[in-house]
Amino acid sequence: MPVRDGLFVDVDPPLLVTGRCRSCGHLHFPHRRTCPYCSSERVDESRVPGRGRLWAHTAVTAAPPGYTGDVPYGFGVVELDEGLRVIGRLTEAEPSLLRRGQPMTLVVVPLHTDDDGRTVVTYAFAPSSAEPHGLDGRRPPTGAAT
Amino acid sequence: MAGVGMHPFGRHGELSTTEMGVTAVRAALTEAGVGRGGFQAAFCATAYGGVASGHKVLGALGMTGMPIVDVEAGCASGGAALMLAAGAIAAAQYDTVLVFGVEKMPKGIIRSSFFEPWQEEAGLAATPAYFALRAQRLMESSGVTKDHLAAVVVKNRRHGVHNDDAMFRSEVVAGDVLASRVVCEPLRLWMLCTPNEGAAAVVLRANGTGSSGAVRLAAAVLRSHVPGAVLSESTPLSGLVDDDVIPPTALAAQDAYEQAGVGPGDLDVVECQDTDAARELLSYEELALCAPGSSAELLESGATQLGGRLPVNPSGGLLSKGEPLGASALGQVVELVRQLRGQCGARQVPGARTALSHTVGRGANAGVVILTR
């Protein structure tokens, strides 16, 4: 199950759910009813493929508050082809193996198993050269025990 | 600025927020010669203090009855409280106002109610990771290297040796900074400030009433962000493809320079937000202490160390003092009042007459205070 509804569509390949304002034209994520740039209510949901280029990246080496998944994990910003910079996890947890500007693709990754035994998943970005993404291509973040 | 007081920043065991606040407030009131009934309002800055933190401090001192307002603006809470007090005095609502900040931070990475539960669950509430991404962008835009980041730590820790109110009072060498544990590449553990505990207080009095000493509050500005920058302190999950969104620190600095009628070239001493080493360098650029992209050169020139043209963080900065959120901005102000009075001993900036304090953090909130004498 998704960590939160309305962030992404878990199809193969997955889609990121953004908002596009009909008044000012700006994209935003996550999708909101009101445009964060111009306060307009004329915002359309826009599902985008989540392809783009790496704009900044690091790795988180110690579990931050409220997080029960594995560490380390990659963390960065991807500039989507549609013209939007998005913060998210990266599947690569070794920063030296990534470089700014390299093609990245949206994937869905597991976070942890909830009390009812369901796998909680979230969106992340993987280097485009990585293995096929989507349901069958799911893999735990680097360093995760499987 | 009629009086200032501090409770040292550090880890103080069972000592409560209220007890630390009492120490700082009592010192500031004593210095100002103000007793019960001598101030008409109080603003208390705190982020983690909880309900009625200010009332608890003043209640413990037997000094209640006036309006007491707690103020939360993240790292800039103290700047926000000072702005409100200065505004009320300028409007002739009060002639003497007490402003203080208290904090007792949890250990480790700061847990913030700012993030939604799903963001924590997804590992996106990783505050140092946002600092690291900002540091990485600065390294790309300004020629900043890890050696520069280490040099900021070495500089501020050297300054902090002389500050009795600092948590860390030993010098460090660059090699040890770089060899400390990687928290989020490129940031090493010693490049990050430590959340901790402490209190600071100032008494603000209208011009021309009483013996205010020579230090004057020339500007106290708080600004929030304009949207668009993905790595803004507002911590959004997305941003525009636009590298020219004005950051909240620059907005606050522009307003403060205008209000005070001074420019960055007039400053003698600065206390700025060094939550991490890169943040200090970014502040050089956003406060217009140097041209965009030249923070590394300003650091290399030695200008920002004690003895240089414009010492930055002579107190040792947050890297030496630690960061008790509600108290940190007022801690800077206390330091600068003492600098302008010439009371800082081995860390004194000789002849300092114009000083700037800067804090920025989640919200986004950016506070800039300018003091003159």
pLDDT in tens, B77-99: 999 999 999 999 999 999 999 99
Q: Where are the domains of chain B?
A: 3-104, 122-190+214-372
Residue A133 scores a pLDDT above 50:
no
* Whole-number pLDDT of residue B106: 81
CA-closest candidate to residue B160, choices B372, B344, B369, B368: B344
pLDDT above 80: residue B110:
no
pLDDT of residue A124: 98
What pLDDT, on the 0 to 100 scale, is given for residue B207?
Answer: 82
CB within 8 Å: B122 and A27: no
Q: Which DSSP symbol is given to A96?
A: G
Q: Is the pLDDT of residue B162 over 60?
A: yes
CA distance B95 to B1: 12
pLDDT at A139 over 80: no
Between A37, A66, A86, which is nearest B227 by CB?
A: A37
| β-strand pairing of B354-361 with B269-271 | parallel
Residue B326 and residue B48: Cα distance in Å, rounded?
8
CATH of domain A50-127: 2.40.50
Q: What is the mean pLDDT of chain B?
A: 96
What is the number of residues in chain B? 373
Q: What string of DSSP letters covers B6-56?
A: EEEEE--TT--HHHHHHHHHHHHHHHHT--TTS-SEEEEE-SSS-TTHHHH
The mean pLDDT of A132-142, rounded to a whole number, is 43
> Nearest Cβ partner of B125 from A27, A66, A100?
A66
The one catalytic residue in B75, B184, B193, B344 is B75
Q: Percentage of chain A surpassing pLDDT 70? A: 88
How many C-beta atoms lie closer than 10 Å to residue B369's C-beta? 30
Show the DSSP H helices in chain B as ranges. Answer: 17-32, 53-60, 77-90, 117-121, 127-142, 146-160, 174-179, 248-260, 277-286, 295-300, 317-321, 325-341
Q: What angle do CA B116, B226, B354 make, to 5 degrees?
A: 110
Averaged over B320-326, what is the pLDDT?
A: 96
- pLDDT band at B140; cut points 50, 70, 90: very high
- CATH fold label, B3-104: Peroxisomal Thiolase; Chain A, domain 1 (3.40.47)
Among chain A residues, CA nearest to B126:
A64
The sign of the torsion formed by the CA atoms of B137, B139, B143, B149 equals positive
pLDDT at B127 over 80: yes
> Which tens digit of pLDDT belongs to each residue from B166-215?
999 999 999 999 999 999 999 999 999 999 999 999 999 998 654 445 89
The ipTM of this complex is 0.93
- Write out pLDDT tens, residues A15-73: 999 999 999 999 999 999 999 999 999 999 999 999 999 999 999 999 999 999 999 99
Judge whether residue B144 has pLDDT over 80.
yes
B122-190+214-372 fold: Peroxisomal Thiolase; Chain A, domain 1 (3.40.47)
Beta-carbon count within 10 A of A132 CB: 10
Confidence of residue B113 (pLDDT cuts 50, 70, 90): confident
B193 is catalytic: no
- Contact criterion met (CB below 8 Å) for B349 and B64: no
Residues 67-126 in A contacting B (C-alpha not used; CB under 8 Å): 67-69, 73, 75-77, 79, 83-89, 95, 100, 111-112, 120, 122
> What are the CA-CA distances from residue B24 to residues B20, B31, B200, B201, B356 (Å)?
6, 11, 5, 5, 21
What integer pLDDT is reported at residue B112 of this predicted model? 81
**pLDDT-derived band of residue A146, with 50, 70 and 90 as boundaries?**
very low
Phi, psi of B309 (to 5 degrees): -65, -40
pLDDT in tens, B257-309: 999 999 999 999 999 999 999 999 999 999 999 999 999 999 999 999 999 99
Q: Is residue A105's pLDDT more than 70?
A: yes
What are the chain A neighbours of B240 within 8 Å (beta carbons)? 26, 37, 83-85
Residue A20 has a pLDDT of: 98
3-class DSSP assignment, residue B146: helix
Q: Which candidate from B122, B181, B241 shows the least CB-CB separation from A3?
A: B122
Domains B3-104 and B122-190+214-372 share a fold: yes
- B107: confidence class by pLDDT, cuts 50, 70, 90: confident
Rounded to an integer, the average pLDDT of B337-358 is: 97
Query: Over the Cα atoms of chain B, what is R_g?
Result: 19
